Structure 1
């Protein structure tokens, strides 16, 4: 720490330092921040540069008022002020106590917001205020209209004590004691307000999705709907809109619950217990499902408190800022953020929505007990050299030689820090003792977890590969492991798919691309593999490397997860709607371009090659130009593709073949695309008045019809795999999870009565020509 830096902290967003404002050095910068449209509550929108210089020169000279410049990793990032409330406009306006300190904070406006950034800055400024042990309370007086700062204040332990009319605003006078601040972490999000909101949001989703899967049957009551528990004691009345594909949008704040005709709180856990019988949850597995619901509630509350970035601000945001800002998780699953196994501190460190960055643990595995598969054109030494700097490789070699081991006898395996601490160091203790596995330590690059939670983006070297590792936590009925044996063929499968895409004129014309999984590694030398029976223990030590999409960008292009099109911010604003408005295009034109980029190549792959993807939101990356999707990039190829026909396949790709009837082939679009993603987007655009549902599905039909017009040579495939069929089998994901809340079984093993619930009317059937 230099003499100019008053306070420095290492945080999950970087090294934060605070130093006195130097008006000569900082005046122009402060003027740009203060007069920015997003800084309206600072109250100096019309200030000139000289006004700002004069104001902060006066603060610097005032013995009762100080101004501070904050930096993150050396870059100017925020402005803070501290003051004595007794020598301010608050004097005599509240119950002042010795040890009070006033505080103002302005985070620099940015077009690349980072999840958790403002919270980390806020807490550091609070630590500055309380760094002097004589300070016992921090006082703030934000504008009563400033909801975002109110949420940050509440998260830090502030309590509103009343409204005060000041010269430039009506302020929500709030006070935080030292004890309240110290108690505000790490469960600051678990408040009545945030949890109440989480319960309502989750019950609204549960009603909608369980009604969609025909587990619940809401009945009209006037302008509302109602469901009644099997025992008749509990009633839920709510307002809802119903769209194509039997999609329900339930208003969270319209839900009214009564128990024995008495008003009662809306409670997601109680909702599941009350309806467990009709949901089909076995009694012995109900607690497991409730644990996943509880974890989902906690995650929702955390995001409500900490995700203050608006949908409008996300429009120009960085790829990873958008990734971390996502709030919903899987759109169809109700219990979709289980993460069973994570502690509170693990959640802060590794959950995708926290935007935290971490280094990966590296383990050496004895070569004859592990297998490294490399994609076409790759060689082991050069591949590792591309993923690890020379200094790290030399350090790892030194660790092995220090134990009398030869580095060339080992392969390097990346491991999630949680997996090392909770699984590998314990469950593979014998392997470590024998030297079949050797801990090498942390790498140098920092990674950020993606929505798929066991996939990590390299934020230090964005051109390097994603890393995906086994992570033995339970989420949505799955233990998030990786099978070494299953992944042996992953690079070969990816190379084959990439060759198909690259050689197809239609796919090239739409810009459709895939992110190849270029390498995979797994350890099989443990006792669990010797048993010869697959289990969660045989899926604990494996990893793969996937291409980074940033290397494929042209000038002016940006990236966003396709899941973002279903995102609403904490105030309910839609990111998709914000993109459409920012693009300058009409909603129909924007949606038409999106469908050409996304739906058309997926349909083409199905009809031309009988190649099916799992094209849900998190598996697709949008390439945006001028806020318009111009092309898409598919990922998760190795685990989530299937060839549904008889085309020739290389021997090492053969495992992706699945022989299914034609009507099931069509479900790869009708279920996975229409029901799995587009029904949600169509409802968002309709709810926000952007595009009527009928108009949306007409655009879907037109996109498919245009593809058929352009490819008459595929007429037989269009007829055999009919996407305009009047109806299709209604596949229900929640039913699978509810049947066995510990481990969803493979879909191929499911009885039809478990997976399907009758049929859904096809929303584009009416447009058949």
Structure 2
């Protein structure tokens, strides 16, 4: 949101509609004519001690009115000792034209941010009508404290103050309503996913189910998938107590219980924050931009219960850097000694920098280096997450900064937005420029989110090889399947942690890579969305997938079949034709939609998430991705990662919403696999994707076993945990 000065010639009709609306009766202008409203506000605008602002929503549509004034020159002056740094404030939210939750809270914070943006302001003063209980609650949310009631013109006002510190310490998302919402959803998910992984077993209780002290309504679908209605939960609503009480059942090591509970608590806090601040409905997102959809996701990984840990972030970090805040971020840049770093790119390094952040900024960086008496030819450039700069680079690498092996420069000129993976950024100002993925020492969902320079040395060659395989395959081209290549990688290796020769979290703190943007690869009639959005439900429970199908004008079966051809068929082909496996979960796929139907996909996160499962010749730089596994394990790339990891959730959503029955959904998936086999008889018999059952690989069991590092990234296959077998929903 942003505030712009009120323009009466432009805004009078809107202003008159707002202030005379029945909801605005405390404003005192119910029967005012347009001329009276103009005269009233012209007087405010002519007053040098008064300002009037029109508040715009994130799509620049008018949403609220704000007034700020100097209390020393107002009718409040006789009623309290005005301090230097006081500012008075009024706010009026537009009458609602559609159902959206959390609007008034968001407006209040936007206005308070505006007031405190002036460093001279230390306290905001308000005097709402004593009868206006709704605004009193909103004032309390952001830190206002009632002083006393005072007689004012036309009303009795409730004089209240909010200091800068009180506002900074306010946490309106941690309200009883928001945290109850979060507890309900997390407990429902925990029961569903722990039941799916056969860690617990709810029992039927009439037309409901019971587990422990909780009863609830639920539906069970293929792949032992549970869909539990959070609002039906009847019993204790404390997710931390729920998890702690199951420690032995879940197999959480005693020494790691606190860490896992912290991730659970952080997940609750994240859900509460989204409840309070994200206002988009599923209907809104049908027509929303790529990055609006990215920021609007209310759920992290669909399978993991503790999926929003971000341990290391504080409240302000959360508001500044997480995807759901949607805040623009300017990355920090440092220069690093060439002799103590690496840069991998199939092209000219300087030309790459010029393309990524412009010749002017590159020249400025070189001038900064010369200002330190340093030769720019001795350095290369590394983007750093602002959190990482403040918390790690200036502390953990202080000696390297002091000896000018790492030289602080400036922030980039482009604004970026954090993606669902939290350490990857999309360029808002130049969407054609690459994504930037940075190292960040934040613990999230079982891993510290670092990047190893040594590991990334092979990332661009791996991406180039995978892209050549994909682009050279006629079937994949026909499906529109593509990969977003990680084209360049860089990292600092001159620190003491690298000199020890021992890999650790400290050797993964200063590195970055650049990945292609999908924006340049779509037509004017196409739009983009993270595939994770197909599992999104807004806070009212409405599913985006359902809204997309309804808006598309095609029936659900056609929509699903088209989507499966774009997603499932190419992933199956890669396994059967090339023994090439991706990690095709929702956050790793970008959908290309036309008329609201997914018609093709881009795969990303190639360097860390791809495997070649045969003995075909590979370039030396690509050899790292080879794994030797059985055919049964190869099949899990479809069964576990696609069927169990993503499609079971989508099938449950569409069935629960009455769009497409689960049986029909899985029949379409089976048709997709069989159609591929019919079109490629030479691949028949390579793997048995129609087998009756497959091994049940369990994700939460990995995190519960070791929430600090779920798997050994150098040998992921041996880290997996199985719980028997699942029935194959597409079996012959």
Normalising to structure 1: TM-score of the pair? 0.83
| 1:434 corresponds to | 403
| 1:418 corresponds to | 387
The change in CA–CA distance for 1:216 and 1:373 in structure 2 (over 3 A counts) is: same
- Asked whether 1:223 is paired with 2:207, we answer yes
Query: Quick one: distance in 2 between partners of 1:140 and 1:616?
Result: 53
Question: Residues 164-203 of structure 1, C-alpha deviation per residue, up to 9 Å, x if partnerless?
Answer: xxxxxxxxxx989434997455411111111111111111
- Asked whether 1:26 is paired with 2:26, we answer no
CA contact (8 A) 1:83 1:101 kept: yes
- Asked whether 1:204 is paired with 2:188, we answer yes
Q: CA deviation at 1:107?
A: 9.3
CA contact (8 A) 1:80 1:125 kept: no
The change in CA–CA distance for 1:748 and 1:432 in structure 2 (over 3 A counts) is: closer
Query: Quick one: distance in 2 between partners of 1:396 and 1:108?
Result: 49
Query: Quick one: distance in 1 between partners of 2:507 and 2:209?
Result: 48
Match for residue 453 of structure 2 among 469, 484, 492? 484
| 1:444 corresponds to | 413
Query: Quick one: distance in 2 between partners of 1:580 and 1:593?
Result: 11
| 1:278 corresponds to | 249
| 1:267 corresponds to | 238
The within-5 A match list for 1:190-339 is: 190-228=174-212, 235-257=213-235, 265-339=236-310
Q: CA deviation at 1:334?
A: 0.6
Q: CA deviation at 1:505?
A: 1.3
The within-5 A match list for 1:497-576 is: 497-576=466-545
CA contact (8 A) 1:41 1:143 kept: no
| 1:341 corresponds to | 312
Report SS of the residue matched to 1:364. strand
Question: Residues 687-720 of structure 1, C-alpha deviation per residue, up to 9 Å, x if partnerless?
Answer: 11111100110111111111111112222xxx23
Query: Quick one: distance in 2 between partners of 1:79 and 1:534?
Result: 53
Q: CA deviation at 1:616?
A: 0.3
Query: Quick one: distance in 1 between partners of 2:433 and 2:382?
Result: 16
The change in CA–CA distance for 1:127 and 1:529 in structure 2 (over 3 A counts) is: closer
Query: Quick one: distance in 2 between partners of 1:390 and 1:108?
Result: 47
- Asked whether 1:692 is paired with 2:661, we answer yes
The within-5 A match list for 1:711-750 is: 711-715=680-684, 719-746=685-712
Query: Quick one: distance in 2 between partners of 1:529 and 1:107?
Result: 59
Match for residue 93 of structure 2 among 97, 105, 114? 105
The change in CA–CA distance for 1:610 and 1:151 in structure 2 (over 3 A counts) is: farther
CA contact (8 A) 2:90 2:126 kept: no
The change in CA–CA distance for 1:711 and 1:106 in structure 2 (over 3 A counts) is: same
Q: CA deviation at 1:434?
A: 2.1
Q: CA deviation at 1:750?
A: 7.4
Query: Quick one: distance in 2 between partners of 1:425 and 1:117?
Result: 39
Query: Quick one: distance in 2 between partners of 1:247 and 1:630?
Result: 27
- Asked whether 1:390 is paired with 2:359, we answer yes
Query: Quick one: distance in 1 between partners of 2:579 and 2:418?
Result: 32
CA contact (8 A) 1:69 1:76 kept: no
| 2:327 corresponds to | 356
Q: CA deviation at 1:138?
A: 3.5
Match for residue 55 of structure 2 among 65, 70, 88? 70
Query: Quick one: distance in 2 between partners of 1:176 and 1:674?
Result: 59
CA contact (8 A) 1:77 1:107 kept: no
Identify the range of structure 1 (279-288 vs 127-136) with the bigger mean alpha-carbon deviation: 127-136
| 1:95 corresponds to | none
Question: Residues 537-581 of structure 1, C-alpha deviation per residue, up to 9 Å, x if partnerless?
Answer: 111111000011111111111111000000011111111111111
CA contact (8 A) 1:580 1:587 kept: yes
Query: Quick one: distance in 2 between partners of 1:755 and 1:134?
Result: 56
- Asked whether 1:763 is paired with 2:732, we answer no
Query: Quick one: distance in 2 between partners of 1:41 and 1:347?
Result: 37
Q: CA deviation at 1:124?
A: 3.7
CA contact (8 A) 1:245 1:675 kept: yes
Report SS of the residue matched to 2:415. strand
Query: Quick one: distance in 2 between partners of 1:750 and 1:366?
Result: 34
CA contact (8 A) 1:562 1:621 kept: yes
The change in CA–CA distance for 1:70 and 1:219 in structure 2 (over 3 A counts) is: closer
Report SS of the residue matched to 2:491. strand
Q: CA deviation at 1:398?
A: 1.4
Report SS of the residue matched to 1:445. coil
Question: Residues 255-303 of structure 1, C-alpha deviation per residue, up to 9 Å, x if partnerless?
Answer: 222xxxxxxx310000011110100011111111111111111101000
Report SS of the residue matched to 2:441. coil
Query: Quick one: distance in 2 between partners of 1:151 and 1:566?
Result: 34
CA contact (8 A) 1:620 1:633 kept: yes
Matched residues, number? 691
Question: Residues 405-435 of structure 1, C-alpha deviation per residue, up to 9 Å, x if partnerless?
Answer: 1101111011111111111111111212222
The change in CA–CA distance for 1:141 and 1:633 in structure 2 (over 3 A counts) is: farther
Question: Residues 309-346 of structure 1, C-alpha deviation per residue, up to 9 Å, x if partnerless?
Answer: 11101111111111000111011111111101111111
What's the RMSD between the two structures over aligned residues? 3.6
The change in CA–CA distance for 1:180 and 1:572 in structure 2 (over 3 A counts) is: farther
Match for residue 400 of structure 1 among 363, 369, 388? 369
Query: Quick one: distance in 2 between partners of 1:124 and 1:503?
Result: 51
Query: Quick one: distance in 2 between partners of 1:222 and 1:380?
Result: 68
Report SS of the residue matched to 1:569. coil
Query: Quick one: distance in 1 between partners of 2:267 and 2:447?
Result: 15
Match for residue 127 of structure 2 among 119, 129, 137? 137
Q: CA deviation at 1:123?
A: 2.6
The change in CA–CA distance for 1:157 and 1:448 in structure 2 (over 3 A counts) is: same
Query: Quick one: distance in 1 between partners of 2:559 and 2:136?
Result: 35
Question: Residues 424-451 of structure 1, C-alpha deviation per residue, up to 9 Å, x if partnerless?
Answer: 1111112122221111122211111100
The change in CA–CA distance for 1:647 and 1:61 in structure 2 (over 3 A counts) is: same
The change in CA–CA distance for 1:647 and 1:528 in structure 2 (over 3 A counts) is: same
Normalising to structure 2: TM-score of the pair? 0.87
Q: CA deviation at 1:352?
A: 1.2
Query: Quick one: distance in 1 between partners of 2:427 and 2:22?
Result: 36
The change in CA–CA distance for 1:140 and 1:241 in structure 2 (over 3 A counts) is: farther
CA contact (8 A) 2:103 2:279 kept: no
